[in-house]
Amino acid sequence: MSQLETLPREEEIMCLTENKAIVKSHKIIYKPTSSVLNMNCEVPMIFTETNLPRDTRIASLADLILQFQQVVSGYAPIVQEPREVILNKLVASKVTLDFSFIELNLNNFLQAIEAGHITYGKTTEKRLLESFLSRIGLKICDGGMDLIEDEDVIEVYDINSMQIYRGFGFFSTTSYSLTDLLTHEWWHLFERNPFTTKQLGDLAMKMFVTDASKPLLLDLPNHFAREIWSPSRAECLMKHKAFIPIFDSMGKTRALVNLIRVMELQFNPIRY
């Protein structure tokens, strides 16, 4: 479980205990403003009690994913799926769904978008990342934001290699839906050079172990990541630019930005 905590709000109080986010209240409700959503959609009720029936949790999560798709589609070409498809995929999930973690994660992302609209009239990749991190009690290292360019794809991973954040650019590079990403392990979704994968994993773990305080500029060969079974079998030639440490309030490294530049992107490529 990633080490996350959110800022307290009216209906939500979070605390951090033994690396697990403990929700003390019974529900979280995301209420988007008209500046974010100019559409009619029901606001999903996000339950956080673990003793609720699984069907109830799945239905609630499906509503949230549906809303997430609607909001993010204003910024990136995210795959749109109807509620019935989302429900079926959640029921047949190949991984154990951590409902509370997923709900809090998506909810914080939506609120980060809203915060950008309220403060600036719009949001950008950098503002979105900064707002999201502040909502979970984390902060990027000094100079880290300066390395991020508009064309970059931004991911954030915790010490357990769990992806806790994916920026707008990420959704532009994949033909998997959000539900696909949440219900499958990464090695069942993408294939890439195992040597490069190991190098990246080793470098990332070293940054956590040494409690890195500065970004690590990466000098690895460009490599392909290929979608295994997505509708369009997207094929992406990418360059990993840097790992950027993210700190908690005590200055400990709790997550890393994985900064990527996409060099080539093909959908429905001819494979030999």
DSSP letters, 108-164, are HHHHHHHHHHHHHSS--HHHHHHHHHHHTT-EEPTTTGGG--TTEEEEEEETTS-EE
pLDDT tens across 240-269, in order?
999 999 999 999 999 999 999 999 999 987
CA angle 63, 64, 65 (to 5 degrees): 95
pLDDT confidence tier of residue 117, bands split at 50, 70 and 90: confident
In which domain, by residue range, is 44 found?
Answer: 14-266
pLDDT confidence tier of residue 174, bands split at 50, 70 and 90: very high
Q: Is pLDDT larger for residue 51 or for residue 243?
A: 243
Least confident piece of the model among 52-56, 141-145, 168-172, 211-215: 52-56
Q: Over the chain, what is the mean pLDDT?
A: 83
- Domain at 219, CATH number: 3.30.450.20
Query: Does some domain include residue 99?
Result: yes
pLDDT confidence tier of residue 123, bands split at 50, 70 and 90: confident
Query: Does some domain include residue 153?
Result: yes
- Over residues 190-196, the mean pLDDT reads 93
Burial of 148 (0-12, 13-18, 19+ CB in 10 A): buried
Question: What pLDDT sits at residue 236?
Answer: 96
Q: What is the pTM of this model?
A: 0.80
State the Rg of the chain over Cα: 18
Residues in the chain: 272
With a pLDDT cut of 70, the percent of the chain lying above it is 80
- What is the SS3 assignment for 206? helix
- What is the SS3 assignment for 20? strand
Whether 45 shows a pLDDT value over 60: the answer reads: no
Q: How far apart are CA 57 and CA 48, in angstroms?
A: 8
pLDDT confidence tier of residue 221, bands split at 50, 70 and 90: very high
pLDDT confidence tier of residue 271, bands split at 50, 70 and 90: low
Query: Does some domain include residue 239?
Result: yes
Other Cβ atoms closer than 10 A to 92:
8
Query: Does some domain include residue 1?
Result: no
Query: Does some domain include residue 207?
Result: yes
- Over residues 225-249, the mean pLDDT reads 96
Q: Of 10, 79, 90, nearest to 55 (Cα)?
A: 90
Query: Does some domain include residue 114?
Result: yes
- For the chain, the domain total comes to 1
Query: Does some domain include residue 6?
Result: no
Query: Does some domain include residue 155?
Result: yes
